[in-house]
């Protein structure tokens, strides 16, 4: 098991472009989470899936953001019409059941220029 894998590690995009990130969780984990982290701050919750169902979404997840987990395995996070304020590290994490100590991936650092 190689842990939680996120791709790409870095993404630079022009304002207004769409970007998509991928997360591959630990294989036996049924819960998957997306967090966003800006410089000097702790991660902030965006959304969470149990299997393929998206069960919770933060107010931070504006309508330009969409997340999917089509078969309960990998997940994608898409940001449409990116803005400079979207520049951040996007972290994915997974867990099995109700375990709080979930495992984070290394993140995708997004820079919007």
Partner 1 sequence: GQQLNQSPQSMFIQEGEDVSMNCTSSSIFNTWLWYKQDPGEGPVLLIALYKAGELTSNGRLTAQFGITRKDSFLNISASIPSDVGIYFCAGAGSARQLTFGSGTQLTVLP
Residue 25 in contact with partner 1, rule: CB under 8 A: no
The smaller minimum CB distance to partner 1, of residues 31 and 79, is found at 31
CA–chain centroid gap for 22, Å, is 8
Tell me which of 77, 91, 110, 112 binds partner 1, using CB under 8 A: 91
For residues 7 and 19, the answer to whether their CB atoms sit within 8 Å is no
Residue 84 in contact with partner 1, rule: CB under 8 A: no
Q: Give the Å distances, CA to CA, from 82 to 4, 7, 69.
A: 25, 18, 21
Binding interface with partner 1 (CB under 8 A): 4, 31, 33, 35, 40-45, 48, 55-56, 58, 91, 93, 98, 100-107, 109
């Amino acid at each position: 098991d190689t842990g939680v894998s996120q791709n790409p590690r870095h993404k630079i995009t022009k304002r207004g472009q769409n970007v998509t990130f991928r997360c591959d969780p630990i294989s036996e984990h049924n819960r998957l989470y997306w967090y966003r982290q800006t410089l000097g701050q702790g991660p902030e919750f965006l959304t969470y899936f149990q299997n393929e169902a998206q069960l919770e979404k933060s107010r931070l997840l504006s309508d330009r953001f969409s997340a999917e987990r089509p078969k309960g395995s990998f997940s994608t996070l898409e940001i449409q019409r990116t803005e400079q304020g979207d520049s951040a590290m996007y972290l994915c994490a997974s867990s099995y059941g109700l375990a709080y100590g979930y495992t984070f991936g290394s993140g995708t650092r997004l820079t919007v220029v």
